[in-house]
Amino acid sequence: LLPEQRGIVLAGDGRSDSPGHSAKYGTYTMLELPANVIIDMQLVQSNEIGGASHMEKEGFIRSVNFLGTQQGLDIDVIITDRHVQLRKWIRENLPDVQHLLDVWHVAKGLRKKLVALSKEKDCTDLKEWIDSIIKHLYWSVMSTDSLFPKCEHKRLRGRAARKKWLKPCSTLMVKLEKLATTTYLIRDLKQASNREQTSSLEAFHSLLNHYAPKMYAFSYEGQLCRGLLAVMHFNENSGRTQQSTRSGELQYAVSLPKWKKGGHTVRKVLEEPTFGKLYFFHFSINLYVDVRDVPPPLSGEYQRPTKETAVSQFKSRYKST
C-alpha cells in the first residue's frame, strides 16, 4: 500500500502460539478489506509486556502505530472481536476511527449462553429455538439499520402462528428476555458490523497452523519467519475464484462438521492454491526479516544455577533413589 492511499477498512485479530493462557508468542494480523489482503503482522513475546493476556492488545497497538504513524495510512474503520481491552484503547486513542465488532463473535457468545440456559430446569424447549435466534441475529445486523428498531409485520397468522412458540410469561421466557436484554449484548449489537467481517482472518489462522503448528515450539526468529511465509501464501491465494464444471455450473461441497451435531455446511470449491512466491522466499526470507530486536527468552529473567549446585541440592521423594 502507498502512503497516499486514504480511508482504509481494516480487520484485526490475534492468535496465540499454544492453547490455554500461558502462550509464549502472540501474532496479531491486520487485513485490508475488501481487498482481502494482509498488510501487517506483529509478533509479540509474552515477557515483553508482562504476560500472555496482554499480547493481543500490544500487537494491535504496534500494528496501528506502524500503519498509521510510520506508513501514513488513514484508518476509517477497524473490525475486531469483542476484546474488552481493545475497545477501551480504541475509544480513548482513536476517537475518529469507527470501531465495529465481528458478528460471528457476537453470535458465538450468545449461542454459548443460550445452550447453557437450555440445560436448566423448565428451559429445555429453548433447544429448538437456538438456531433460529442466531439466524435472526445475523439477519437483524446485516439487513436492518437503526431506523427500524422492531419488525414491521402485523400479528402472525396461518402457518407462522401455528409454530411451536414459547409461552409468554413462562420461566423460560422470563430468563430468555433477561438474557436478550443484557447491557453487554445490546451494546455489542449496536456496534456489530453490517459490512465486512473477520472471517478471512480465521481462515488465515487455520493456514498459520500449517506453517507454525501449536504443538511445536519455535524460536522467535522461527515463529516470525513462519508467520511471514503464511502471510505471503495467504495473499497469493486470497483472490481464488470458485471452480465450475465443464457445463459452467459452480461447484460446491457439503460437509458434516462435528460442531454442527448432525447439521451440514455448504462451502464453495475454490481453485487449487499456488505456491509461486514461496519457492523463492523460502530460501531468502532471512535476508529480508529484521530480527535485531529479538526479545530475551522467557527463562532469561531467572538465574540459572550451575550443574554442580543443582545436583548437590537434588533430593528425591523416594528413599531408594
> pLDDT band at residue 18, thresholds of 50, 70 and 90?
confident
User: Biggest alpha carbon distance in the chain?
Assistant: 85
Task: Provide the pairing of β-strand 265-268 with 252-255.
Answer: antiparallel
Poorest-pLDDT segment among 31-40, 104-113, 128-137, 283-292:
283-292
> pLDDT band at residue 20, thresholds of 50, 70 and 90?
confident
What average pLDDT does the structure give for the chain? 85
Average pLDDT over residues 31-51: 92
Q: Kindly list the strands in the beta sheet with 8-16, ordered across the sheet, starting from the edge strand earlier in the chain.
A: 37-45, 25-33, 8-16, 75-80, 98-101
Compute CA distances 121 → 51, 132, 175, whole Å: 40, 21, 11
* pTM of the predicted structure, to 2 decimals: 0.80
Residue 315 identity? K
Greater model confidence, 286 or 263 = 263
Question: Taking the CB of residue 308, how many other CB atoms lie within 10 A of it?
Answer: 8
Residues 6+ apart with CB under 8 A from 264: 254, 255, 256
The pLDDT of residue 187:
92
Please, what are the domains in the chain? 8-102+196-240+252-298 (3.30.420.10), 103-191 (no CATH)
DSSP string, 157-168: -TTTTTS-PPPT
Residues 6+ apart with CB under 8 A from 66: 40, 42
- For residue 318, pLDDT beyond 90: no
* Maximum mean pLDDT: which of 143-152, 183-192, 273-282, 293-302: 183-192
Question: Strand (E) positions, the chain?
Answer: 8-16, 25-33, 37-45, 75-80, 98-101, 252-255, 265-268
Greater model confidence, 310 or 14 = 14
Going by C-alpha positions, the residue among 104, 109, 106 that lies closest to residue 189 is: 106
Q: For residues 100 and 76, give the distance between their C-alpha atoms in angstroms, rounded to a whole number.
A: 11
pLDDT single digits (tens) 238-255? 888 899 988 989 999 988
pLDDT single digits (tens) 230-241? 999 999 998 888
Q: For residues 61 and 65, give the distance between their C-alpha atoms in angstroms, rounded to a whole number.
A: 6
